[in-house]
């Protein structure tokens, strides 16, 4: 039989060599798919982190205008550095530990030594998108470059309050546009599922951090619980989650801490709640498949069980901070299991 010129011969004739060749090719394919999965997952995480940080900064700028006059700049900005886990790097960079508006704006927006600055997140978002370039649509890749170049261009010169405010609004809109392109143009499959998974894990992590910092750090005096300042801060927290209007429509009791936590953690219909993020992550895992991935399955089941067995009442009885620490620990454990079983 005459063979096509495209026919590829096995490199050897013995069964052993053929099997070695097959295994080496199989490993190459597996490594390639792992890199793609890893890149899609992190592409989504870094974009989500950049967008959520911009959203936090935007709300905090409004807070600067309306906050109590006797609050210092440090009181207003330290929570942002705590939420983004950037305080140690900030102290290392500036040394004197003085937290000022100008420094924080520069450090969070464009700090090159800040591993969680918006600029760093967008750079890593682009690098991961480049690795998975053949899995995303042309429109998505163009949006990736547009987001990165526009933001980088805007960082030129000093960052004033007005400039920062415009910068955050613009980035928030660009992130929304990218997510729209992702939903509208990307093929459904494992790459898409890993992208969904990364976004959900990052969002859940950020929600837990925001709640924890609000509960323990933002309010300067325990006697201010229930005060106008406390009321304003819970409302600001909901705004940072884009949940202010949705909360008002579904709750008539005002900004009671338990009601806000119940909404931000356990409301399955609110897209920026912990419960919704975990539900979506579960759907993504179902598309990927967990056969033979016992660690990942167990880590995710533990997270689901904790949320299913808790509610606003039990969380405040046992301690909100303790509950959120559990959530963050389980999210970290799930990420580690995922990385070990899918990305290595």
Say which residues have a Cβ less than 8 Å from residue 167's Cβ, sequence separation at least 6: 54, 109, 151, 154, 159
User: Which residue from 250, 256, 320, 308 is spatially nearest to 282, judged by alpha carbons?
Assistant: 308
Going residue by residue through the chain, which has 344 residues, state the pLDDT in tens, using 9 for 90 and above: 343 433 334 344 455 555 555 455 445 545 557 888 999 999 999 999 999 898 888 877 876 666 656 667 777 788 888 878 888 888 888 876 688 888 999 999 998 888 989 999 999 999 999 998 988 999 999 999 999 999 999 998 888 888 998 999 999 999 999 999 999 999 888 889 999 999 999 999 988 888 887 666 555 455 555 566 667 777 777 887 888 888 888 887 777 778 888 888 999 999 999 999 999 999 999 998 888 889 999 999 999 999 999 988 888 788 888 899 899 999 999 999 999 998 87
User: Which residue from 342, 343, 344 is spatially nearest to 291, judged by alpha carbons?
Assistant: 342
**pLDDT value at residue 43:** 95
Torsion region of 96: left, alpha or beta (phi above 0 gives left; psi -120 to 50 gives alpha): alpha
**pLDDT value at residue 5:** 38
13-72 per-position pLDDT tens digit:
455 555 555 455 445 545 557 888 999 999 999 999 999 898 888 877 876 666 656 667
**pLDDT value at residue 87:** 86
Exposed / middle / buried, residue 171 (Cβ in 10 Å: 0-12, 13-18, 19+): buried
**pLDDT value at residue 27:** 53
CA 312 to chain CA mean position, Å: 23
């Amino acid at each position: 039989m005459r063979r096509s010129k495209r026919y590829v011969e096995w490199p050897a004739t013995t069964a052993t060599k053929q099997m070695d060749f097959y295994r080496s090719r199989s490993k190459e394919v597996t490594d390639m798919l792992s890199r793609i999965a890893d890149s899609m997952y992190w592409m989504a995480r870094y974009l989500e982190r950049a967008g959520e940080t911009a959203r936090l900064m935007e709300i905090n700028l409004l807070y600067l205008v309306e906050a109590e006059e006797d609050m210092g700049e440090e009181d207003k900005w330290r929570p942002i550095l705590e939420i983004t886990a950037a305080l140690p790097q900030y102290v290392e960079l500036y040394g004197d530990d003085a937290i000022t508006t100008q420094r924080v704006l520069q450090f969070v927006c464009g700090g090159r030594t800040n591993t969680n600055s918006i600029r760093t997140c967008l750079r890593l978002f682009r690098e991961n998108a480049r690795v998975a370039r053949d899995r995303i649509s042309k429109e998505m890749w163009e949006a990736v470059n547009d987001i990165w170049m526009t933001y980088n261009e805007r960082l030129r010169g000093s960052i004033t309050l007005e400039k920062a405010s415009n910068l955050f609004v613009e980035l928030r809109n660009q992130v929304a546009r990218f997510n729209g392109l992702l939903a509208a143009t990307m093929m459904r499959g494992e790459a898409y599922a890993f992208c969904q998974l990364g976004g959900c894990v990052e969002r859940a992590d950020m929600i837990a951090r925001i709640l924890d910092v609000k509960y323990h750090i933002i309010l300067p005096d325990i006697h201010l619980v229930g005060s106008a300042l406390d009321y304003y801060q819970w409302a600001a927290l909901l705004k940072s989650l884009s949940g202010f209007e949705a909360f008002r429509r579904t709750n008539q009791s005002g900004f009671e801490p338990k009601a806000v936590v119940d909404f931000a953690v356990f409301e399955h219909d609110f897209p920026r709640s912990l419960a919704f993020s975990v539900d979506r992550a579960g759907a993504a895992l179902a598309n990927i498949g967990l056969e033979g991935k016992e660690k990942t399955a167990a880590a995710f089941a533990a997270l689901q069980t904790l949320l299913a067995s808790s509610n606003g009442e039990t969380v405040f009885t046992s301690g909100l901070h303790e509950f959120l620490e559990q959530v963050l620990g389980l999210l970290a454990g799930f990420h580690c299991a995922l990385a070990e079983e899918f990305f290595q």
